[in-house]
Amino acid sequence: LPALICKKRDGQRLEDQEIQSFVWGITSGTAQEAQIGAMLMAVRLRGMDAGETLALTRAMAASGQALEWPRSWHGRVADKHSTGGVGDKVSLVLAPALAACGCKVPMISGRGLGHTGGTLDKLESIPGFRVTLTPEEMLAALERVGCCIVGQSEELAPADRVLYGLRDVTATVDSLPLITASILSKKAAEGLSALVLDVKFGQAALFPTLEAARELAHSLVWVGQRLGIRVAAILSRMEQPLGHCVGNSLEVLEAIECLHGGGPEDLRQLVTLVTTLGGLLLWQCGLAGAATEGQGLLAQSLDNGSALGTFEAMLGAQGVPPNIAHSLCHGDPPERRRVLGEASVTEELLAP
């Protein structure tokens, strides 16, 4: 391993077998944390070419178990991933909306990374919500509800579990090959048919410029397609929070407003992003003749309440007591806030 670190430190290309050896060292526990951190920094400073990035992604995906789905679901297993933003609660709305339109969505999400919020942290503000499901429990949830939003299990891409945490404490979060491998190793292990990526750029994104975000989008699409996944990416601005709310339970409440078709003016941006991403996925899965038709189907699921009903069913499938799920989805705003709890002191901050 020290020889591989030296090789990458000096800007040389790593062979597929060398990358596999590094990943094996992570999962077997033979690689020291300091060595893994050193390799992360070497990759961050020296980069990886497309072939190296593909090899790293494949090795990380193969470090654990791959999920398998019934043959009848072929072509309809879909997921979305965002590179992270402030106030980004798209996943909470998109997963149930896609399921209401006929997709199977085994969404594997992450926790906060850097300054960006984590979908799992938001969902855990709901009493009883379980983000850890076994593959068998995921299958049962998808059969009954059509979607689940879970954390990475110990069996799924375990190498990424180690690297994800270490990237956050070694200032290597914004490394293009490491981002690509982290995102797509989990998606490859999910057994996806289609994937849409929301690659953000701007002051509050990991990549501040459009050019850098476009480079990441190309990397993700190129590697994803070679893993056998139908991948599309959109570029979206992250110059300001999505919606009005930032914070775990506040964002859950705002996502529920969106599922009701309501919310403040700023929330229209969230709805637009949900329908754009979802429309692409429905088209990729063959459930819509074009992306624009898919957008209409997604919007319809928000308007007719089917997405909200699926969200409530997902809460129940992931451990939320029925009375809490019902109050959260159908109660008035004060009742919803009581369910999630309120801070003893609140302050509203107004932007100029």
Residue spans per domain, the chain: 71-153+191-339
Report the run of H or E that residue 136 belongs to, with start and end: helix 135-144
How far is the CA of 338 from the CAs of 259, 291, 326, 327, in angstroms? 19, 39, 13, 9
Please provide residue 280's backbone torsions phi and psi, each rounded to the nearest 5 degrees. -60, -45
pLDDT, tens digit, 9 for 90 and up, residues 11-47 = 999 999 999 999 999 999 999 999 999 999 999 999 9
Helix, strand counts (H, E) of the chain: 16, 5
pLDDT at 299 over 80: yes
Q: pLDDT digits over 218-242, tens only?
A: 999 999 999 999 999 999 998 888 8
| Rounded Cα distance, 342 and 289, in Å | 45
The CA–CA distances, whole Å, from 10 to 43, 46, 88, 348 equal: 10, 8, 38, 51
pLDDT at 70 over 80: yes
Which residues are the active-site residues? Answer: 81, 160, 167, 182, 186
Residue of 14, 338, 67, 335 whose CA lies nearest to 188: 67
Q: Of 81, 64, 113, 43, which is closest to residue 183 (Cα–Cα)?
A: 81
Q: How far apart are CA 52 and CA 254, in angstroms?
A: 41
Write down the CATH number for the domain with range 71-153+191-339: 3.40.1030.10
pLDDT in tens, 161-219: 899 889 989 999 889 999 999 999 989 998 999 999 999 999 888 888 999 999 999 99
What's the pTM value of the predicted model, to 2 decimals? 0.88
Q: Measured between alpha carbons, how far is residue 156 from residues 79, 124, 185, 228 in Å? A: 16, 20, 9, 18
Asked if pLDDT for residue 265 goes beyond 70, the answer is no
Strands (E), the chain: 78-82, 105-108, 147-150, 194-201, 230-237
Length of the chain: 352
pLDDT at 262 over 80: no
Q: What is the DSSP letter of 73?
A: G
Q: Locate 87 and state its tokens.
A: 């106030």
Residue 284 has phi, psi (to 5 degrees) of -60, -35
